[in-house]
Amino acid sequence: MNFHTRRLQPKRFGALVLASSMLTLSACGSDSISYKPLTEEDDTVYNICVVQSADNDQSNQIQQGFQDALTDLFGEGHFNVTVQVANAETSVDDISSSYVSDDNTQLIFANGSSALTSAAFYTDEIPIVGANVIDFQSALHTPDSEWDVKTGTNVTGISSRPPIAAQLSLLIEATKDMQSVGILYCPEDTNAIYQNEILEDYLNQAGIPWREYEIPSTEAAITSHEESSETESSGSTISGEKTVANSAKEGTENDVESIGESNVILGLNSIYSARTAKISDNWTQDINDPVSYELGSTTEEIVNYAASQSSAFFISANSYLTDQIDTISSVATATGTTTVSADSTIASKTLVSLYCDPYNQGYNAGKLVYRILVNGDDPGSIKITATNADETVKLYQDSLAEQFGLTFGKSFQEVDEFLSTYVPGTNTTRITSDDSSQ
């Protein structure tokens, strides 16, 4: 491949101030919600069932936060929790159907995308709280015309999507001469596409040119994500044959392409892609270049090409690229390209990253359970919420920062030191017996 090796310089723009000021805005005002723990005199016992997609660190930390929230809010003796984790012998469908068949089940906590999809398929009556799900709309197969961040059904939850605006802030803070952003993703990674499109809206508002670059998945990455939480072979889901929307924003109203049994790692410019890579309207660099690449291009070749056009790289959370991060990081470092992520599994290989504590997500899900079972709130009227920027930790990789000639202030922590010492839940604000509202 004869990819360009020089960094092209687009026209300057003056929108970084807009981007920085945009990120300081926050929602104000919220109703007071009672979380007063049940008294010893109250003999009510709630039966809560947990279906978990996979046995991994993130899911287990979410589960721990959830359990601690129940203890804090309901008090010991006021709840029974049944936990089942999907494995090779027992699918999420097996677990969900058994819970729904049990007349004692009062609420289902779905930890993982496939767990949520399955639970929602088997019941439209028992309340469901979901977590460890990046895109609830896709997991619930809800068309855009019916989506307003509330399900209107028996489902609510906490999204695991990191705050995208905060990641734009990271891109700006960590890049000395921000000219353009290269967005790296695998074509069949629908969670990445969803996050990319949100970031692209912010970049458009800020006037920052961007371009997506498709990188082929490895078989290991696909298998890992399918086994961890994203797909299950079950009659309740769209799997069996994996289907994806052409655009994350347009949701299930779009026509879809079936990936089926095809070898998706070969198809950079194939009909099996979730959708072809996009490019911003204000992109000024070699606009006639093809957006996709020839069959057979290696990850190193694609990333080198992307680096020749990009000041910074963005890699979404829960990316299919985690097992190729060494190649991406090596190229980025050699070419002076900033790397930004929100995935703790690759944080030590990117210049800056955003850490979101899974424990906090589980704890917030437990608060929703209290609202539904004790306060009587309708789950379909509770907005799906995600991690706030003030609940995250900004990290930097010291050796990369040194190579880039960058220093980071007290608002950042060194990634290796932080991840080796941080205890999940440390920064979570827990409800005590003295609390009656938040």
- Of these ranges, 169-183, 223-237, 295-309, the one predicted with the greatest mean pLDDT is 169-183
pLDDT higher than threshold 90 for residue 268: no
Tell me if the domain spanning 46-162+358-390 has CATH number 1.10.10.10. no
**pLDDT tens sequence across 331-361:** 999 999 999 998 888 999 999 999 999 999 9
pLDDT higher than threshold 80 for residue 322: yes
Output the pLDDT for position 14. Answer: 45
- List the beta bridge partners of residue 331: none
N-term to C-term CA, the chain: 58
Mean pLDDT throughout 150-173?
95
Alpha-carbon distance 309 to 9, whole Å? 8
**pLDDT tens sequence across 283-319:** 876 655 554 456 568 899 999 999 999 999 999 999 9
Output the six-digit token pair for 339: 């790397």
**pLDDT tens sequence across 83-121:** 999 999 999 999 999 999 999 999 999 999 999 999 999
Output the six-digit token pair for 87: 């494995």
Alpha-carbon distance 28 to 382, whole Å? 17
The overall average pLDDT reported for the chain is 81
What percent of the chain clears pLDDT 90, i.e. is strictly above it? 62
Q: Give domain limits for the chain.
A: 16-24+163-341, 46-162+358-390
Output the pLDDT for position 353. Answer: 96
pTM of the entire structure?
0.83
In degrees, to the nearest 5, what angle opens at C-alpha 379 toward C-alphas 378 and 382? Answer: 95
